[in-house]
Amino acid sequence: MNTISRLFSVLSSVRWVGFTCAALSAAAVGLAVWSEQALGLIPCALCLWERWPYRVAVVFGLLAFLLPPRYGRWAVLGLVALFLAEIALGVLHVGVEFGWWRSPLPSCNAPDISGVTSAEELFNRLPLRPAKPCDEPAYLVPGLPVSMAAMNLLFAVFMAAMAGLGFICGRRTRIPPVSGR
């Protein structure tokens, strides 16, 4: 078996895909939390929703890593589904940022104050704490015109492709030893 096919065999193994997806998903959530605490970026409601598939992906990735490969493949299939959901959330968020559509989350939109007759009623309709609007992009890298929502979308596409290839190519065979030709 040549080196390239051996490398492909290792990289397409269910355990490697599971471990890599778990590690990269944890890193994605960690980067989001770090950008809040260290850089002072305020997440919008959609940003907070976009973290959930990554959190669950850590669990599925660890299951794929720890379970026997024939069962781990199903965890990798779960990863594919999670990353497809993340892509859908990313497309939704990027579309909101570009103004293609409004966010379906009420906390992303300005409160409806039509029909307000008193200041007390106005204050009752306002949120308890100010939230960042979902249509206002947050940029992680100064000077790079790619918002965090767009970076998340690109990352989710990469993760879905990796998990999909891992599911399709992942076999229950063990890696053969290197022959000494």
Q: Mind listing the pLDDT tens digit for each residue in 34-44?
A: 988 888 888 88
pLDDT > 70? residue 123:
no
Residues 6+ apart with CB under 8 A from 55: 25, 29
Task: Give residue 172's Cα distance to chain centre.
Answer: 28
Average pLDDT in the chain: 81
Percent of the chain with pLDDT over 70: 74
Per-residue pLDDT tens for 22-38?
999 999 999 999 988 88
Residue with the bigger pLDDT between 3 and 15: it is 15
Instruction: Report, as an integer, the average pLDDT of 49-68.
Output: 94
DSSP 26: H
Say if residues 126 and 111 touch (Cβ distance below 8 Å): yes
Q: Which range is most confident: 37-41, 68-72, 76-80, 145-149?
A: 76-80
For the whole model, what pTM was predicted? 0.77
The pLDDT score that the predictor gives to residue 172 is 47
Q: How many CB atoms lie within 10 A of CB 177?
A: 8
Instruction: Report, as an integer, the average pLDDT of 115-123.
Output: 67
What amino acid is encoded at 92 in this protein? L
Percent of the chain with pLDDT over 90: 39
Which among 73, 30, 93, 61 is positioned nearest to 159, based on CA atoms? 61
77 falls in which pLDDT band (50, 70, 90)? very high
Residues 6+ apart with CB under 8 A from 83: 53, 57, 156, 159, 160, 163
The pLDDT score that the predictor gives to residue 105 is 77
